[in-house]
């Protein structure tokens, strides 16, 4: 399994989620363009590829294990979809999905989506509204953009919201938004790591309102305003993306996909990287892209570099349960005309929120039925997975019954358990990444990729796959005899 031949360069990719698969594809494409003779092995511990992107199709229901969709505002994702010939499979979220709801005071309340709606809503007191409008007058922080150098300046999302928009806005809007994206706690998430664009906007415009005004002016001026950021998925669900990636890679003689290959360690023998799997096999490469979560990388690198392993171990993940509930349409009184609902921490609910999945995308439930995906867990409920499926179902039904007028028993129940669902970029994350990069500088050929580091969304993972592949190829090309730009 481990011999190496001639001038062929070998890269071992660990983890067959969207990050690993997309990186493997970009590596092969980039190698061809650079006339580099490359072989890529992708090792995935699960029986199937895709990581979090899994769709369960059952009796006319289509259930997402992890992500429900992605925004169409990331060029790297659009390029990948095009490359995989998946444009015809794309489905756009319904217009109704633009309406989003909060649970406040035990009732469903629509989130105001425009300035006039914000002025009219009674979600906020007049005083809280004035405080939000006062954002224009809040001075710019002087130490913006220094979080990687000085963790003391690394503001939490909640603290940023409180400082610029007031406590009520932070509590009612930012707190649930962070639950919706990270399953996390706005008070324990770094703004600079989780939402770097916000830091740029404050730095460049001095105010979020001024930034929004400038952006919308630019959009109006530019004929090519670019994609709008609408949620999309695929007709058969999100699993279509890794399935197409795996198909394309399998059709390429330069790629080998190994499912059920549980990596146990990564070591180095001179200039060669050695990856060992649980069945005792080894695979050698000129480079390794570790695209499994940071906690897995920490375990694999413990003997090689204990300091690096410790840094990786310090990136926390939260547990989550996704509880899919299917109902007969007539058993849900609410019109479900929207995306779903998020629940602020101050409501003390046992759910983070719920998506009205069958209202967002067509074909997610059989005719006459509706599908809801409820989320529970996160840092506020670290023992969520101690509950069995029945208890999780009961918890979701109990929370939604009054809010949405549920009657009778669900026609479908499916619980998806995520012991380590989503990485939490806590304050200090960027400084940690800098220290990780410093360790990696002493380990040339070892690369870390995936949602643990520089963005948790599917879009962020795909974007990183392009930069990661380019970085790996740059290094290989520099050392490849006879290759373009290489040393002979």
Ligand X SMILES: Cc1cc2nc3c(=O)[nH]c(=O)nc-3n(C[C@H](O)[C@H](O)[C@H](O)COP(=O)(O)OP(=O)(O)OC[C@H]3O[C@@H](n4cnc5c(N)ncnc54)[C@H](O)[C@@H]3O)c2cc1C
Residues that bind ligand X (CB under 6 A): 14-20, 43-46, 51-53, 66-70, 262-263, 291-293, 296, 320, 322, 418, 421-422, 450-451, 456-459, 461
Nearer to ligand X, 123 or 198 (CB): 198
Nearer to ligand X, 207 or 414 (CB): 414
Nearer to ligand X, 151 or 338 (CB): 338
**Is 313 buried (19+), middle (13-18) or exposed (0-12) by CB count in 10 A?**
middle
161 vs 224: CA distance, rounded Å: 32
* Helical ranges in 75-114 per DSSP H: 75-83
Minimum CB distance to ligand X, residue 444 (Å): 22
Minimum CB distance to ligand X, residue 123 (Å): 24
Nearer to ligand X, 20 or 151 (CB): 20
4 vs 27: CA distance, rounded Å: 18
Nearer to ligand X, 51 or 166 (CB): 51
Nearer to ligand X, 151 or 293 (CB): 293
355 vs 339: CA distance, rounded Å: 6
Minimum CB distance to ligand X, residue 94 (Å): 16
76: CB partners within 8 A, 6+ apart: 459, 462, 463, 465, 466
Minimum CB distance to ligand X, residue 390 (Å): 20
Q: What is the 3-state secondary structure (H, E, C) of 160-194?
A: HHHHHHCHHHHHHHHHHHHHHHHCCCHHHCEHHHH
Minimum CB distance to ligand X, residue 335 (Å): 23
Minimum CB distance to ligand X, residue 418 (Å): 5
**What is the number of other CB atoms lying within 10 angstroms of the CB of residue 31?**
24
Q: Taken in order 325, 331, 337, 342, is the CA torsion positive or negative? A: negative
Nearer to ligand X, 211 or 275 (CB): 275
118 vs 342: CA distance, rounded Å: 18
């Amino acid at each position: 399994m481990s011999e190496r031949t001639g001038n062929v360069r070998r890269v071992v990719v660990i983890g067959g989620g969207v990050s690993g698969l997309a990186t493997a594809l970009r590596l092969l494409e980039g190698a061809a363009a650079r006339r580099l003779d490359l072989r890529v092995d992708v090792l995935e511990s699960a029986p199937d590829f895709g990581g979090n992107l899994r769709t369960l199709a059952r009796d006319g229901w289509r259930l997402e294990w992890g992500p429900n969709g992605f925004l169409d505002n990331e060029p790297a994702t659009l390029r990948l979809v095009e490359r995989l010939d998946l444009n015809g499979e794309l489905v756009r979220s319904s217009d109704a999905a633009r309406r989003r709801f909060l649970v406040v005071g035990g009732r469903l309340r629509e989130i105001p989506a425009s300035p006039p709606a914000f002025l009219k809503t009674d979600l906020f007191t007049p005083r809280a509204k004035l405080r939000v409008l006062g954002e224009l007058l809040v001075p710019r922080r002087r130490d913006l953009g220094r979080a990687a150098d000085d963790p003391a300046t690394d503001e939490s999302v909640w603290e940023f919201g409180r400082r610029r928009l007031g406590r009520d806005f932070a509590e009612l809007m930012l707190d649930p938004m962070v639950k919706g994206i990270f399953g996390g706690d706005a008070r324990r998430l770094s703004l600079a790591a989780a939402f770097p664009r916000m830091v740029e906007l404050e730095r460049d415009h001095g105010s979020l309102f001024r930034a929004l005004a400038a952006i919308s002016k630019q959009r109006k001026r530019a004929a090519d305003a670019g994609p709008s950021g609408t949620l999309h998925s695929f007709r058969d669900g999100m699993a279509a993306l890794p399935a197409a990636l795996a198909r394309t890679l399998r059709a390429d003689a330069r790629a080998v996909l190994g499912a059920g290959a549980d990596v146990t360690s990564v070591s180095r023998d001179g200039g060669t990287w050695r990856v060992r799997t649980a069945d005792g096999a080894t695979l050698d490469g000129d480079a390794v892209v570790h695209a499994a979560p940071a906690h897995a990388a920490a375990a694999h690198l413990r003997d090689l570099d204990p300091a690096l392993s410790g840094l990786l171990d310090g990136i926390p993940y939260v547990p989550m349960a996704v509880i899919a509930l299917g109902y007969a349409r007539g058993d849900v009184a609410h019109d479900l005309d929207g995306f779903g609902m998020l629940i602020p921490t101050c409501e003390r609910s046992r759910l983070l929120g719920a998506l009205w999945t069958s209202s967002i995308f067509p074909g997610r439930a059989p005719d006459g039925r509706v599908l809801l995906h409820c989320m529970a867990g996160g840092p506020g409920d670290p023992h969520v997975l101690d509950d069995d499926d029945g208890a999780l179902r009961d918890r979701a039904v109990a929370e939604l019954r009054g809010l949405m007028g549920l009657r009778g028993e669900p026609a479908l129940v499916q619980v998806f358990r995520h012991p380590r669902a989503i990485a939490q970029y806590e304050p200090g994350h960027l400084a940690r990444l800098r220290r990780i990069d410093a360790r990696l500088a002493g380990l040339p050929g070892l690369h870390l990729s995936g949602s643990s580091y520089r963005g948790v969304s599917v879009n962020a993972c795909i974007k990183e796959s392009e930069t990661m592949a380019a970085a790996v190829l740059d290094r290989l090309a520099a050392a490849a005899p006879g290759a373009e730009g290489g040393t002979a």
